[in-house]
Amino acid sequence: MKFITVAIVCLVAGLTQGAALSEQVLASAHSQILGNASSILGWQVAGSLQSLAPITQGCQNITSYGHGRWATLGLKPAVIEQAFCVATVRASNSSALALNQIKLAATDMFITQLLHVFGDDPQPSFKWLCNNFNYTAINDELALDSGRIGQAFCANRPYATAWSDPSHEVLIIADPSTYNMASSLFALLYSFSASTPTERWIMCEQYHYMSQAQLQEGINSTIVRSRLCVDHDVPLMPAGNSQLLMTYWFGSIFARQLSLAVNAVDDEEKRAWLCENIQHGDLGLLGMMPGNMFCA
Ligand SMILES: *[C@@H]1O[C@H](CO)[C@@H](O)[C@H](O)[C@H]1NC(C)=O
Ligand SMILES: *[C@@H]1O[C@H](CO)[C@@H](O)[C@H](O)[C@H]1NC(C)=O
Ligand SMILES: *[C@@H]1O[C@H](CO)[C@@H](O)[C@H](O)[C@H]1NC(C)=O
Ligand SMILES: *[C@@H]1O[C@H](CO)[C@@H](O)[C@H](O)[C@H]1NC(C)=O
Ligand SMILES: *[C@@H]1O[C@H](CO)[C@@H](O)[C@H](O)[C@H]1NC(C)=O
């Protein structure tokens, strides 16, 4: 009897603590997430184009790269165009610049996701993150800016722990799982800009010239080819399916990044903690697949 009472009290406490964030807060976070995802996409494309002409063209009018269609997925054409315009100015060194911009945007995207998945009373969760971050994994495996992440969750907080800024610059994701999921996401978004199967085929032929640079940008070009280089009679993926797949990759990449960032890959206890503390209902509103990432 006593046990049941305690269990009920715990359950009620669990339900009252950490309610969902307001939809307005989540909508603003969602917009930042899509902004950073757009920046990543813009740099992944602009940084791997082999001549100045298409970069200049994209800067003048991104519509020729699928403006209307990318907007359909909720991405931001103006942010994508911005990457092209900056790349025109620094074309001789755009690959190195692109990698730095991708790292920055990917870091900000991860921070925005983390800041908003723990509901409206996130301080205990931030403390947990701060105590569990593995800055070596964040820098070396995920190619994210470990100092920026440490600062976001640990600075000026009573439980502040020392975080480490990247001691050496890592720009390409080493973790194979994240690397290949990020490549699948790119393949999905890039091929979505084709508005007909014929256009997709032309992009496939042109991809030949981009593929080497794509490897340098940390993208598995085999994965891109497998989505882009398909027969004319294979219909384009409808916008709704593409958007669903985008939320699937956003969620899966986030879950993998978080697992590595706090050494939770093989740690049942940590995974249970994440299952319990992440507000699963908010994930969908943040543009990720809702539910079940850590609740096995
Ligand atoms: C990326 O996210 C940060 C917050 O982490 C935000 O300040 C910035 O505006 C976002 N970038 C874009 C292009 O939306
Ligand atoms: C941009 O390109 C699209 C597609 O080629 C074209 O329809 C549109 O008129 C162009 N816009 C401007 C401002 O040149
Ligand atoms: C290229 O850009 C990177 C990163 O912005 C910089 O560190 C490097 O010095 C640049 N190289 C040249 C030749 O400008
Ligand atoms: C932190 O990450 C590094 C690199 O992935 C790994 O070698 C190390 O074992 C991790 N530390 C802990 C405590 O798990
Ligand atoms: C790239 O993707 C292909 C196809 O999925 C896979 O076989 C290969 O192992 C991947 N390469 C790397 C370096 O992960």
Tens digits of per-residue pLDDT, 135-154? 999 999 999 999 999 999 99
Total structural domains in the chain?
Answer: 1
Could you read off the pLDDT of 17-45 as tens digits, one per residue?
A: 456 788 899 999 999 999 999 999 999 99
pLDDT confidence bin for 1, thresholds 50/70/90: very low
Q: What is the pTM of this model?
A: 0.90
d(CA 263, CA 249): 21
CB distance 147 to 164 below 8 Å: yes
User: Is residue 93 pLDDT above 80, yes or no?
Assistant: no
Residue nearest atom 11 in ligand 5 by C-alpha distance = 220
Q: Which of 177, 215, 222, 225 is the pocket-test mutation for ligand 5 (most atoms within 8 Å of CB)?
A: 222
Whole-number Å distance, alpha carbon 137 to ligand 4 midpoint, is 6
Q: What tens digit of pLDDT does each residue of 160-217 get?
A: 888 888 778 899 999 999 999 999 999 999 999 999 999 999 999 999 999 999 998 9
205 lies in some domain: no
Assess if residue 17 is contained within a domain. Answer: no
The contacts found for 206-214 with CB under 8 angstroms, 24 or more apart, are: 209/50, 210/48, 210/49, 210/50, 213/47, 213/48, 213/49, 213/50, 213/95, 214/44, 214/48
Q: Is residue 279 part of a domain?
A: yes
Domain assignment of residue 229, yes or no: no
Burial of 24 (0-12, 13-18, 19+ CB in 10 A): exposed
Q: Cα of 262 to ligand 4 centre, how many Å?
A: 9
Q: CA-CA distance, 257 to 37, in Å (whole number)?
A: 15
223 CB within 6 A, ligand 5: yes
Burial per residue of 130-144, b for 16 or more beta-carbon CB atoms within 10 angstroms, e otherwise = beebbbebbbbbbbb
Q: Is 65 inside a domain boundary? A: yes
Measured in angstroms, how far is the CA atom of residue 63 from the centroid of ligand 2? 6
Which tokens belong to 275?
Answer: 């299952």
* Across 84-98, 122-136, 195-209, least confident range: 84-98
For the chain, how big is the Rg over CA atoms in Å? 20
**Average of per-residue pLDDT across 277-285:** 94
Q: Quick one: pLDDT at residue 8? A: 40
The whole-number pLDDT of residue 46 equals: 92
Q: Per the domain annotation, does 72 fall within a domain?
A: yes
C-beta of 173 in contact with ligand 5 (< 6 A): no
Average pLDDT over residues 115-142: 96
Tell which one of 56, 57, 62, 63 to mutate to probe ligand 2, the residue whose CB is within 8 A of the most ligand atoms. 63
Task: Report pLDDT for 9.
Answer: 39
65-86 mean pLDDT: 88
69: containing domain: 23-175+243-285
